[in-house]
Structure 1
Amino acid sequence: MDEKLLRKKFSIKSSDIKILYKIISDLNVRFGFDAKHFKKISIPNINTYSWSYAINRIITGFWLQKKYSILNNISVYNVSSNERNILLGNFINLINKLNKLRKKILNKKLLKNWLNIIPQIIKEFFYIPLKYKIFFFKLENIWKKIILNGIIINYKKKISIDCLLKQFFQYNFSLYKTNTFMSGYINIMNFNKIRIIPFKMICIIGCDQENLSLYTQTNILNLINQKIYQNNKNIFFETVLSTQKYLFCSYTKNIKTEKKNYPSKYITDILYYIKKNFYITNKNKYNKKKIHILKQVYINNKNKLNYSYLINYNVEKFSKEKKDIKKYKKINFIIKKNIPITELINFWKNPIQYFFKKNLNIYILNNIKNQLSEDELFHIPSLDKYIIKNKILKYYLLKKNTKSLFKKFQLKNQLPHDHIGKILWKEEEKKIYLLSNQINKIKNSPKEISFNLKIKKYKLSGKIKEINKLNLIHWCTNKINFKEIISLWIEHLVFCILKKSSKSILLGINNTNIKFSYLTKIKAEKYLKKYIQGYLDGLKKPLLILKSGIIWLQSIYMKKFNIIKNDKYNINIAKKNFLKEWNGNSFYKGEKKNIYIKKLIPKINPIIIKKICRTCEYWLLPIFKNTNIRKYHIK
């Protein structure tokens, strides 16, 4: 789909690729076209993973238009718009043509039967503009030449297309000249390809001692004897001579092996030579007797993992560019006086992400291409698991049978095939059954309350659901996490202002729960003012509330005595826990890999760690004081 000429033939735009990847990931197509194809590649007939089943889902969804969810053992896939229906129609046309081609090239054939296969592929799958007609004409001629050569020598055995394609691709390299350089482009090559060819800028990547070995020939200027020159040429010396304006050299420390990498001796020699023989123009005092060849040397070694040296012969360009840099205007934040409680909760769930999305309009999406898999499912993906658990819970609370629900998810490919899917489904049912029992014990005539509170000059409005006679109940089908805790905490503060003697409880799987203690109206108002002010401050500047800081606070706070531990032993444990969460490991990506956090904190240091810890302590200590929160609730 990345090929432009193929897309144009089937009226698929480049902007449509993301939509198609999203649809394919929803359909969970894994491998194979149909039952015959499964048999041919010797795998069980897993019909729901096939392309033919996916196409049937789309077609039935188009005709039925959300009237049914399952029809004739087919899970109906509904598409929201007519534009997407047209796109899917074009894509299905491509898939069907590919399947026909697969059948054509599947078996061995005589050479004469292979003669027109490449011309047919070009005709059916590619839109050929005028400027590419010669290129495709050459490809057809190369293919015909290979086939006709075999026919001339009377090769009468049947042959597979794989053997012919190997020769075909070898011939294709003859269309391009080797060792050629494109002017106006970036040329990537090995050192041994360079023969004193001048370039404006040369970048040498990986200047480690291992990658650049020292030359053995003592007389490096002896270029007369070609044998000596070819065997012992000083590649680095030639590269420096080839550079017209800029020479960039870099080397990198290997983090995985924790092996110390040092720059090549060539770099250290150049730096020593520069310091000894040349001077920097921006210094006030210098020796005028020294020869002035190099105007500036830029050394960038702020990041300990990446070192780079740029030798620059033309500094004027840099100075001009600095003058032309436009000053960015400050962002004017418009803060509304009416604050919905949903907005307040969404902010406190992830203050940093909220700042980037709401104020800067920066939405970082995962690459959908990386989500597609060709492997058979042997587990339930996390997103599908979340949806499945919520559906099962809904059925249990309504006292419905879950057999039809199981079939629905299996036909949607959201569960592994056959017995594995059944085993995993039963495991999830057990967990949700315990949670539903917990909810039914506490739940008693739940109500929904609308409110409108005035806090300072701001109005907080919204609705609170699941209010029972004595308490406010929330539940989550996963393990209890910080987002669930902070959501209920905000609602609990409002609930304490509205009703006297009110308590709240958060229920999770495996019989876990967090109880929120009763707060007086004055205390609840005081806390709510604090969190509204935090919301207002966080819109202007991101609050550094991170999971690593929350874990640090949990490690150092003693609920029993309501104190922060100050002894060295507990402080060191808290720091270790902070860094574990920050750095992560081979199974879990640490917070430093989070794209939003990276932008704010490119590199951690003791000052930033202290700031994160103090921020989390200031904003989250009230939650720790007024709940029975435990270590396993945060992890």
Structure 2
Amino acid sequence: MFQIYHSNKLDLQKDLLVRLISRHPLSDPFQPETILVQSPGMAQWLKLELAETLEIAANIDFPLPASFLWSSFTAVLDDVPDRSAFNKEALTWGLMELLPLQLSRTEFAPLQRYLEEDEGQYKLYQLCGKVADIFDQYLVYRPEWIASWESGDDLPDITSSQPWQPILWRTLQQHILGLGLSHWHRGNMFNGFVTALNAGQFDLTLLPARLFVFGISALPQNFVEALQALGRRIDVHLMVCNPCKYYWGDIVDPKYLARINQRWLSKPGMSVETLTDSYHSHGNPLLASMGKLGRDYLHQIQDLAAPEIELFEDCDRASLLQSVQQDILELDDPSSERVLDPEQKRVLPAEDRSLQLHSAHSPLREVEILYDQLLSMLDEHADLSPRDIIIMMPDVAAYAPYIEAVFGNAPFDRYIPFSISDRTLQQESPLLQSFLRLLGLPESRVTVSEVLEILEVPAVLRQFSLDSDRFERICRWIEACQIRWGIDADQRVRQGLPPFEQNSWRFGLRRMLAGFAMGQSDSLWHGIDPYAEIEGLEAEDLGQLAEFVELLEFCCERLQQEKPVSGWFEVINDILQRAYQPDEQDEILLSQIRQVLEKLQQQLSDSHYQQPLSWAIMRDYLIAELGNSRAGQRFMVGAVNFCTLMPMRSIPFRVVCLLGMNDGVYPRAIPPMGFDLMAEHPRRGDRSRRDDDRYLFLEAVLSARQTLYVSYVGRSVQDNSPKVPSVLVSELMEYCQQNYRLDNDSDNGTLIQQLLTEHPLQPFSERYFSPDSSLFSYAEEWLPLLRQQGNTEQSFMTRPLETEPLEDLELTDLLAFARNPVKHFFQRRLKVFFNRSAIELLDEEPFQPDGLTLYQLKQQLLDAAINEQQDQCFERIVASGRLPVGIAAELQTRKLRRDCQEMADKIRPHLDRPERIECQLVIAGTPLNGWLTGVHSGALVRYRAANAKGRDMVQLWLEHLVLSASGYRLQSYFFGLNGRHWFDPLEKERALDYLQEWLNAYRQGLCEPLPLPADTAWVLESKTLEKDQERAVMEAQKCFNIDSYTQLGESRDLYINRVYPDYSSLGPRFVALSELLYQPLALALQQGDGEVDDE
């Protein structure tokens, strides 16, 4: 018996299935029920539903269509192999061997031109994979073509554009038969299967007692015919999810109809009267536009002339979503009167939220908005649980990081349980990703970033006896040694680049090893600049790094050689053993790699393919196979489920959410291959990714029971320019606008405004927390930030801390306080140390030194020039890898070296007879102790290869005060690129008075962070002396707030920014302190010649 059941709801089909199973049990209680489904997700849902209804769901098989039919073929036909010699993989390797032998024939000229200069047969492998895929499609959708080709008929009317295909197929078939393999393939097995079923000459017990086909939206024609033939021997129940109760196989998309009419009218001699009536079958626009896949399947079923039972259930039109579903069920075609006359439109409650559209600025914002909306739904509907919600998107892997970040880091009181399905092992496993990176090294630049992504995988760290702290230490070594990319000069030559070793892994490793062996050195060793920061037990980490670099070199050399599959098995196993120390979970993943290799070995053995394989072929094969391996599919596990939009996801949920519905992204369009004859000669029932996606969207609309939530990126995150959603979303919005209106909508213009919510760029926007806004957010952590906005007078501290006794004071502490009072307060009093600067690892060799590097180079060259060793210093700088390769280093630093030499010539005369002075003072009962270096011939000399700034001046001033208070009548000099600055000798009593003021400020600075940024205070007071107070304030504000690519103001300092984020927050106290402490400095400072232009 072959019976067809039509229903618009999967729940009804499930109830029917339960009734058939319970009322008509199988005669043998040990024989399993067989339910044919299209996806594991559908099987999981059905298991749960059956268990809930029947109280137990056991001894039930849920095969997929292809595997079930193959097992049925095996049961009915003779000599059916376990693995077909005509499957896609076997066809690929067979074509690899046979196609090159055919290229001399005229018919194969296009292929011969494509395969010219094919190194390692990589292009051949890619082409054979595509051809095998096309042939595999022919076996399913054009079996009569294959039969004709095998009988010698090339079907020239069909194959005229690709005459090589029938020739190649016959050659392939004869080759397979010549190897003694079975002639069965999917093209001829269906006819043989139907014939054998009709003849009845097989063991019926090998087939299931009965078969249910559940929840499958579409099957190829020969699959359906095979199921009908099977129904002559066993009971087959085909349950079709049909969105419409009336026959809709002839309805046409109005937009498609318009295109046809336009083409018709553009022909000469054609008029409106000549349009054929066959194009005028109208129906529901959504069903006509999105339902082609289901429409073609309905045609196939109708052609079977099998008995049908209809189980349709009306929707009650209580909401917009249910009304749209009912329109589709009734094949409702909106009339022109309804479009033009608002009074004819169906009225909706003003508060209807069953259909929601949300526009965001990025995928991250989509997920953040979704989270708040789900919390609202769960609050509003107490009976709604996470398992009632499904969230689908075109590519779940692209959204997975945002989902983990938003849902995974939610606080406990707002946590929503969730699971992510449909990710491959490769996407979920850092270990497999690192293996594929190792596999890709022969054509890689071996950059620092990709190498460290390999090293930081836990199994790799364990293999090289490293942990997170040691890994960070190695990263700092890599940064300091200027490693950027490339193993060594030889590896760069293999990639067609000049043979230079600078900034390579070998270059940096030699610097580390030389530095460890030699220690600190002022000269090069055989052209190597030793990196001397590695000592003691750190040598073990250096050894592990050297061993890891050897692994990289091994991969680069051994993987690029052609080998038979046994050789690849050996090399890859060697890499796995050298690279990983797996735990129990990792061992499962490594076994997946070995299973893929064994699978390849079996395929080549079945195909009798014995040619060596190139690295590129092995890489592509492993990437494809591991990319197809699915991780544990956590689908329907009692949590909110994130998954990819794919066929048979029409499972009913109370809330269905669709993310990433962007124009150009969905529906997905995959252009057919240029030699695909099915694309040249299409038929009803042919599969198309675009048609599949359109039907998936329609199924999502129909499977939502309470709410359909759709979101897309509707604004550019760069410039806020608008972006249109997917054409499917636009069609849905247009349909709703044409057919419905709100009951309080007098001008027929507010429905779309209610359906569509445009969200701001940031999750902490005031609009989310304003009582007058319709937007909302559950993220209460943003509230303190919003309360602070505009409140620049809010103090970092409500009151100063208690005074600490200051028994003595080191000069270094006083100088540190003067340079940055806020930082000194955090570190000295609060014991708070903000994170040190992040490691900056770059993947490109230096082409132009950045600002910090340029300053460091200037200072090194200036120090060397003063000691008349600039040439040796320049050689060390080049050997350190901080400058471009070759002559570019000399050209870029020529003026820099000249400027430093000129500056050194001005400084050197002041640097004779250096001495070190100990200072011991008592100021208002507080001892001040310290040592002063850099005193030369009766003068204190300081210099820096930069323009003098406030922090330089205040340090020189305090040191000058200490010397003067100690009884030394000396001048104090500072040499900078903007000239020479100095203080003349000062009376002891006056110096002590100034130091008393600084000591008072120091005591207060231990109780609270003083608003006294050194550079800004210096600018304010020095400009004030020019009698232009307004300009002085403007210059000070610019100094504090500046934020440009080349310069950052003091407000960007991590410590200062925590207390004083902008100039206005400094307040009037800053002016008073600047006048008290910096005005004497500004009055005493003198400037003279010696100015050097800054580069």
CA RMSD of aligned residues (A): 4.9
Q: Which residue matches 2:582?
A: 128
Q: Which residue matches 1:70?
A: 524
Instruction: Give the match's secondary structure for 2:977.
Output: coil
CA contact (8 A) 2:511 2:528 kept: yes
Q: Which residue matches 1:462?
A: 930
Instruction: Give the match's secondary structure for 1:540.
Output: coil
Quote the Cα distance in structure 1 between the aligned partners of 2:699 and 2:826: 58
The structure with more radius of gyration: 2
Q: Which residue matches 2:622?
A: 168
Instruction: Give the match's secondary structure for 2:973.
Output: strand
Give the CA deviation at 1:188: 7.1
Quote the Cα distance in structure 1 between the aligned partners of 2:657 and 2:1015: 39
CA contact (8 A) 1:482 1:633 kept: no
Instruction: Give the match's secondary structure for 1:49.
Output: coil
Deviation larger for 22-31 or 301-310? 301-310
Quote the Cα distance in structure 2 between the aligned partners of 1:508 and 1:341: 23
Quote the Cα distance in structure 1 between the aligned partners of 2:849 and 2:1024: 38
Give the CA deviation at 1:518: 4.8
TM-score of the superposition, structure 2-length normalised?
Answer: 0.44
**CA deviation vs aligned residue, 1:246-302 (integer Å, no higher than 9, x gap):** xxx9x99999648899xxxxxxxxxxxxxxxxxxxxxxxxxxxxxxxxxxxxxxx99
- Write the mapping of 1:90-489 to structure 2, written as runs, cut at 5 A: 90-155=544-609, 159-172=613-626, 173-177=628-632, 180=635, 230-231=700-701, 237-238=707-708, 257=719, 307=768, 334-359=804-829, 360-368=831-839, 371-380=840-849, 385-386=854-855, 388-398=857-867, 400-443=868-911, 445-468=913-936, 471-489=939-957
With over 3 angstroms needed to count, the CA separation of the structure-2 counterparts of 1:501 and 1:333, relative to structure 1, is closer
* Aligned AA (1:622): P
With over 3 angstroms needed to count, the CA separation of the structure-2 counterparts of 1:75 and 1:634, relative to structure 1, is closer
CA contact (8 A) 1:481 1:634 kept: no
TM-score of the superposition, structure 1-length normalised?
Answer: 0.71
Quote the Cα distance in structure 2 between the aligned partners of 1:433 and 1:97: 46
Quote the Cα distance in structure 1 between the aligned partners of 2:992 and 2:763: 47
CA contact (8 A) 1:252 1:305 kept: no
Give the CA deviation at 1:509: 2.6
Q: Which residue matches 1:533?
A: 1000
Give the CA deviation at 1:63: 4.3
Instruction: Give the match's secondary structure for 1:48.
Output: coil
Quote the Cα distance in structure 1 between the aligned partners of 2:555 and 2:471: 22
Quote the Cα distance in structure 2 between the aligned partners of 1:127 and 1:349: 50
Give the CA deviation at 1:463: 2.2
**CA deviation vs aligned residue, 1:446-483 (integer Å, no higher than 9, x gap):** 44322211111211111223335564322112222222
Give the CA deviation at 1:155: 4.7
With over 3 angstroms needed to count, the CA separation of the structure-2 counterparts of 1:304 and 1:515, relative to structure 1, is farther
Give the CA deviation at 1:411: 2.3
With over 3 angstroms needed to count, the CA separation of the structure-2 counterparts of 1:195 and 1:62, relative to structure 1, is same
Give the CA deviation at 1:533: 1.6
Quote the Cα distance in structure 1 between the aligned partners of 2:811 and 2:901: 31
CA contact (8 A) 2:961 2:991 kept: yes
CA contact (8 A) 1:30 1:375 kept: yes
With over 3 angstroms needed to count, the CA separation of the structure-2 counterparts of 1:71 and 1:618, relative to structure 1, is same
Quote the Cα distance in structure 1 between the aligned partners of 2:1077 and 2:659: 46
CA contact (8 A) 2:481 2:508 kept: yes
Quote the Cα distance in structure 1 between the aligned partners of 2:946 and 2:506: 35
With over 3 angstroms needed to count, the CA separation of the structure-2 counterparts of 1:197 and 1:362, relative to structure 1, is farther
Deviation larger for 583-592 or 31-40? 583-592
Give the CA deviation at 1:235: 12
Q: Which residue matches 1:594?
A: 1053
With over 3 angstroms needed to count, the CA separation of the structure-2 counterparts of 1:410 and 1:305, relative to structure 1, is farther
> How many pairs are equivalent?
547
With over 3 angstroms needed to count, the CA separation of the structure-2 counterparts of 1:375 and 1:475, relative to structure 1, is same
* Aligned AA (1:346): A
With over 3 angstroms needed to count, the CA separation of the structure-2 counterparts of 1:453 and 1:260, relative to structure 1, is farther
With over 3 angstroms needed to count, the CA separation of the structure-2 counterparts of 1:150 and 1:9, relative to structure 1, is same
Q: Which residue matches 2:1029?
A: 565
* Aligned AA (2:886): D
Q: Which residue matches 1:23?
A: 477
* Aligned AA (1:513): R
Between the two structures, name the one with larger relative contact order (CA 8 Å, sep ≥ 6): 2
Give the CA deviation at 1:341: 1.0
Give the CA deviation at 1:346: 1.3
Percent identity, aligned pairs only, is: 17
Quote the Cα distance in structure 1 between the aligned partners of 2:619 and 2:834: 44
CA contact (8 A) 1:252 1:306 kept: no
Give the CA deviation at 1:147: 4.7
Give ranges in structure 1 of 5+ residues lacking alignment. Answer: 207-224, 241-248, 262-300, 315-329
Q: Which residue matches 1:542?
A: 1009
Quote the Cα distance in structure 2 between the aligned partners of 1:236 and 1:505: 79
Q: Which residue matches 1:270?
A: none
- Write the mapping of 1:47-58 to structure 2, written as runs, cut at 5 A: 47-58=501-512
Give the CA deviation at 1:575: 4.1
With over 3 angstroms needed to count, the CA separation of the structure-2 counterparts of 1:98 and 1:443, relative to structure 1, is closer
Give the CA deviation at 1:156: 5.3
Give the CA deviation at 1:101: 1.6
**CA deviation vs aligned residue, 1:326-363 (integer Å, no higher than 9, x gap):** xxxx9877554221111111121122222223332314
Give the CA deviation at 1:142: 2.2
With over 3 angstroms needed to count, the CA separation of the structure-2 counterparts of 1:44 and 1:331, relative to structure 1, is farther
* Aligned AA (2:528): I
Q: Which residue matches 2:756?
A: none
CA contact (8 A) 1:482 1:634 kept: no
Give the CA deviation at 1:126: 0.9
Quote the Cα distance in structure 1 between the aligned partners of 2:779 and 2:507: 64
Instruction: Give the match's secondary structure for 1:550.
Output: helix
Quote the Cα distance in structure 1 between the aligned partners of 2:763 and 2:552: 53
CA contact (8 A) 1:546 1:616 kept: no
* Aligned AA (2:890): K
Instruction: Give the match's secondary structure for 1:15.
Output: helix
* Aligned AA (2:847): F
Give the CA deviation at 1:488: 0.2
Instruction: Give the match's secondary structure for 1:74.
Output: coil
Quote the Cα distance in structure 2 between the aligned partners of 1:367 and 1:164: 38
Quote the Cα distance in structure 2 between the aligned partners of 1:594 and 1:188: 42
Instruction: Give the match's secondary structure for 2:948.
Output: coil
With over 3 angstroms needed to count, the CA separation of the structure-2 counterparts of 1:463 and 1:493, relative to structure 1, is same
Q: Which residue matches 2:1081?
A: 623
CA contact (8 A) 1:551 1:578 kept: no
Instruction: Give the match's secondary structure for 2:832.
Output: coil
Give the CA deviation at 1:408: 2.8
Quote the Cα distance in structure 2 between the aligned partners of 1:232 and 1:518: 90
